[in-house]
Amino acid sequence: MIFCFATNNAHKLEEIQALLGGAFVLKTLSDVGCHEDIAETADTIEGNSLIKAQYVWDNYQINCFADDSGLEVAALNGAPGVHSARYSGIRDYATNNQLLLKNLADITNRRARFKTVITLIINGQAWQFEGTVEGQIIETPRGTQGFGYDPLFVPTGHTRTFAELTLPEKSQISHRARAFEQLVAFLSKQ
- Reported as a single tens digit per residue, the pLDDT across 51-107 is 999 999 999 999 999 999 999 999 999 999 999 999 999 999 999 999 999 999 999
What CATH number does the domain containing 63 carry? 3.90.950.10
Catalytic annotation on 68? yes
Residue partners of 87: CB distance under 8 A and separation at least 6: 79, 80, 96, 99, 100
Assess contact for 172 and 18: CB atoms under 8 A.
no
Residue partners of 72: CB distance under 8 A and separation at least 6: 78, 79, 80, 81, 112, 113, 114, 115
Whether pLDDT at 15 is above 80: no
Q: pLDDT category, 23, cuts 50, 70, 90?
A: confident
* Calpha distance 137→104 (Å, rounded): 9
Quote the strand ranges of 84-178, DSSP E.
Answer: 111-122, 125-137, 153-155
- For residue 29, the enclosing domain spans 2-188
* pLDDT > 90 fraction of the chain, expressed in percent and rounded: 75
15: amino acid identity, one letter: E
* Calpha distance 96→9 (Å, rounded): 17
CA dihedral 101→104→110→112, nearest 10 degrees, is: -70
Predicted model pTM: 0.89
Sign of CA dihedral 14, 176, 81, 114: negative
Assess contact for 6 and 52: CB atoms under 8 A.
yes
Q: Which of 132, 120, 176, 187 is nearest to 156 (CA)?
A: 132
User: How many folded domains does the chain comprise?
Assistant: 1
Which residue in the list 37, 43, 58, 68 is annotated as catalytic? 68
